[in-house]
């Protein structure tokens, strides 16, 4: 093996190369494959048509999340309730059928372990440091938070992984996002990643794998790291990584699907060698001053349209790039916002706390800490809290968080992707705003005509309480 210093990404990549082709593309072994109901039916159909089998069914784990309603799934007698939308029901039935036919481990919608793929993977110890993890979903980048090389793939690639347990890939360039200093009080992982995307732009990481470096990440919880890496794709990057450390190892040990005993010790020994070597070179480097990060929200229809909560809606003419001027003007028209409006004057009618970005226990605790003893403002018509998995939900209920949410006027839901993507019954009405902890503020993302403002769980809770975008630090002080 080459002795030149290597980055974390290069070490994981090199350890998974099955064959290197003349042109530099590699057949890369895939250790872990997550499957959900939306991007897999055509892949299974492809296997059937070609008469192909699944090479290693035990390395794939399937769980429905995108389509499932977040209302009660079991009737009073404990039997599963029917899903009203026939197309959603058909997609779920197809996943049940396909996983049974091909022998793939499957967590059905009614099971206690069900949840969003990117919450379930790390939670079960299925996703591991140093592993290659793929899923037909762009937010697979999340698993980089525990040190996995994880990226989203299309359905043809899902089929390719099922059939061969490999992908044919050209390597990515490496990009370092180095955060210097410490985050201020009340500033979260979500504020930081929104700030980073604002700096690098939605195409800033295209063709690259980002490694997030700096003391901030070393001191960050696993949940926070998953949030940061989750949104790497919003910066255009194929994947995001944070070097796995003792915090991650302690978090993973004893999880149901994680290695145990001697296998755990052997894995641990390897995981401890994964950090980027001193002197390793990145193709691109960006330095962020942590002290500059405010509670951050989006004002437009691209995740790069961010500003600190103390700021204003920008004037499109203030951007240097003419294409960006046009895009910003279009965004503001869609969002119904006038340039110069203070962000803290923007009212919201809906609040969504959930999604693969922010639905873990720490996210629910942060929101509940703000909501405790408070209620949602009269102008807030709909507020929902959607745990990322059944296990997160159970934990939150054991801590009494569900009662804080419901006392504040929130609906406490069953796990799923929910209002992140307008595929299930949880949608934001046209023309209304939503303070949302999800990852995309695209046109129509939360429903046709819906206006999304992305922010952290604590900030979304603050918006629920005041009925407008609000600096949560003011509520924390009181």
Stretch that binds another protein, among 1-9, 37-45, 366-374, 379-387 (CB under 8 A): 37-45
Among 182-190, 309-317, 401-409, 442-450, the segment contacting another protein (CB under 8 A): 442-450
Instruction: Output DSSP code: residue 293.
Output: P
Q: If binding means CB under 8 A, how many residues of this protein chain bind another protein? A: 97
Name the segment binding another protein (CB under 8 A); options: 165-173, 280-288, 312-320, 363-371. 165-173
Rule CB under 8 A: is residue 423 a binding residue for another protein?
A: yes
Cα–Cα distance measured from residue 340 to residue 217, given in angstroms and rounded to the nearest whole number: 34
Q: Any contact of residue 377 with another protein (CB under 8 A)?
A: no
- Tell me how far, at minimum, the Cβ of 339 lies from another protein, in Å: 19
Residue pair 287/178 in contact (Cβ under 8 Å)? The answer is: yes
Nearer to another protein by Cβ, of 27 and 286: the residue is 27
Distance CA(433)–CA(428), nearest Å, equals 8
Q: Give 38-74 as a DSSP string.
A: SSSHHHHHHHHHHT---S-GGGEEE---SS--SS--B
Check binding of 323 to another protein (CB under 8 A). Answer: yes
- The first and second tokens of residue 414, run together, are 């069953």
**How far is Cα 146 from Cα 144, in angstroms, rounded to an integer?**
5
Structure tokens at 229: 């890496």
Residue among 91 and 230 whose Cβ is closer to another protein: 91
User: Between the CA of residue 104 and those of 59, 80, 87, 99, 127, what are the distances in Å?
Assistant: 8, 22, 23, 5, 16
The yes or no reply on residue 302 touching another protein (CB under 8 A) is: yes
CA–CA gap between residue 136 and residue 280 (Å, rounded): 31
Residues numbered 245-264 forming contacts with another protein, rule: CB under 8 A: 256-261, 263
Q: Does 422 bind another protein (CB under 8 A)?
A: yes
325 lies in the site for another protein, by CB under 8 A = no
Minimum CB–partner distance for residue 172 and another protein (Å): 8
Which of positions 334-363 make contact with another protein (CB under 8 A)? Answer: none
Sheet containing strand 173-180, strands side by side? 239-241, 208-213, 173-180, 284-289
Q: What pairing do the DSSP bridges indicate for beta strands 26-29 and 32-35? A: unpaired
By the rule CB under 8 A, 124 interacts with another protein:
yes
User: Any contact of residue 311 with another protein (CB under 8 A)?
Assistant: no
Give which of 62, 66, 238, 63 is closest to 141, Cα–Cα: 238
Judged by CB under 8 A, the residue of 71, 168, 184, 399 near another protein is 168
Give the CA diameter of the chain.
65
- Residue 305: CB minimum distance to another protein, A: 10
- Distance in Å, CB of 461 to another protein, minimum: 26
Q: Which is nearer to another protein, 447 or 457 (CB)?
A: 447
Query: Which one-letter DSSP state was computed for residue 242?
Result: -
SS3 203: coil
Residue 233 is a binding residue for another protein (CB under 8 A) = yes
**Residues listed for the chain:** 478
Q: Which is nearer to another protein, 134 or 404 (CB)?
A: 134
Residue found by looking up tokens 């991650």 in the block: 248
Residue whose structure tokens are 């992982």: 189
Among residue numbers 127 through 156, which ones bind another protein (CB under 8 A)?
Answer: 128-131, 136-138, 140, 152-156
The verdict on 7 binding another protein (CB under 8 A) reads no
Q: Does 160 bind another protein (CB under 8 A)?
A: yes
The verdict on 317 binding another protein (CB under 8 A) reads: no
Across 411-427, b (16+ Cβ under 10 Å) vs e yields ebbbbbbbbbbbbbbbb
Options 119, 248, 288, 327; binder of another protein; rule CB under 8 A? 327
Q: List the interface residues with another protein, window 60-119 (CB under 8 A).
A: 61, 66-67, 85, 87-88, 90-91, 94, 100, 105-108, 110-114
- Using the contact rule CB under 8 A, the part of the chain among 21-29, 286-294, 363-371, 373-381 near another protein is 21-29
Is position 1 an interface residue for another protein (rule: CB under 8 A)? no
């Amino acid at each position: 093996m080459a002795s030149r210093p290597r980055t974390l990404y290069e070490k994981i990549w090199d350890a998974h190369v099955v064959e290197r082709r003349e042109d530099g593309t590699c057949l890369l072994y895939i250790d872990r494959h997550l499957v959900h109901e939306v991007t897999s039916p055509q892949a299974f159909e492809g296997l059937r048509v070609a008469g192909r089998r699944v090479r290693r069914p035990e390395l794939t784990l399937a769980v429905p999340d995108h389509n499932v309603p977040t209302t009660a799934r079991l009737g009073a007698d404990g039997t599963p309730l029917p899903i009203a939308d026939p197309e959603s029901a058909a997609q779920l039935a197809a996943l049940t059928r396909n996983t049974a036919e091909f022998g793939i481990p499957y967590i059905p919608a009614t099971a206690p372990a069900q949840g969003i793929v990117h919450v379930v993977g790390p939670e079960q110890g299925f996703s591991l440091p140093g592993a290659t993890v793929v899923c037909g979903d762009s937010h697979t980048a999340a698993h980089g938070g525990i040190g996995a090389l994880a990226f989203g793939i299309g359905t043809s690639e899902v089929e390719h992984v099922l059939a061969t347990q490999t992908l044919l890939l050209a390597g990515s360039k490496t990009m370092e996002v180095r955060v210097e200093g410490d985050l201020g009080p009340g500033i979260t992982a979500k504020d930081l990643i929104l700030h980073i995307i604002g700096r690098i732009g939605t195409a800033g990481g295209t063709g690259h794998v980002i490694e997030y470096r700096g003391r901030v990440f070393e001191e960050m919880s696993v949940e926070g790291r998953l949030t940061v890496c989750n949104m790497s794709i919003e910066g255009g990057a194929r994947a995001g990584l944070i070097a796995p450390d003792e915090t991650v190892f302690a978090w993973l040990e004893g999880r149901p699907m994680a290695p145990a005993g001697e296998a755990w010790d052997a894995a641990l020994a390897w995981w401890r060698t994964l950090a980027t070597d001193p002197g390793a070179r990145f193709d691109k480097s960006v330095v962020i001053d942590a002290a500059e990060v405010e509670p951050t929200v989006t004002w437009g229809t691209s995740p790069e349209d961010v500003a600190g909560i103390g700021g204003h809606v920008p004037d499109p003419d203030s951007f240097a790039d003419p294409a960006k001027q046009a895009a910003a003007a279009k965004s503001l028209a869609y969002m119904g916002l006038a340039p110069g409006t203070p962000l803290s004057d923007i009212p919201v009618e809906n609040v969504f706390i959930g999604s693969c970005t922010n639905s873990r226990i720490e996210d629910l605790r942060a929101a509940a800490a703000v909501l405790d003893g408070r209620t949602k403002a009269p102008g807030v018509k709909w507020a929902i809290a959607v745990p990322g998995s059944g296990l997160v939900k159970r934990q939150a209920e054991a801590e009494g968080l569900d009662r804080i949410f419901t006392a504040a006027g929130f609906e406490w839901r069953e796990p799923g992707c929910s209002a992140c993507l307008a595929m299930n019954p949880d949608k934001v009405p046209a023309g209304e705003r939503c303070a949302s902890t999800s990852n995309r503020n695209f046109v129509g993302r939360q429903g046709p005509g819906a206006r999304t403002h992305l922010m952290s769980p604590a900030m979304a809770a603050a918006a629920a309480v005041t009925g407008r975008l609000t600096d949560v630090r003011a509520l924390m002080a009181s």
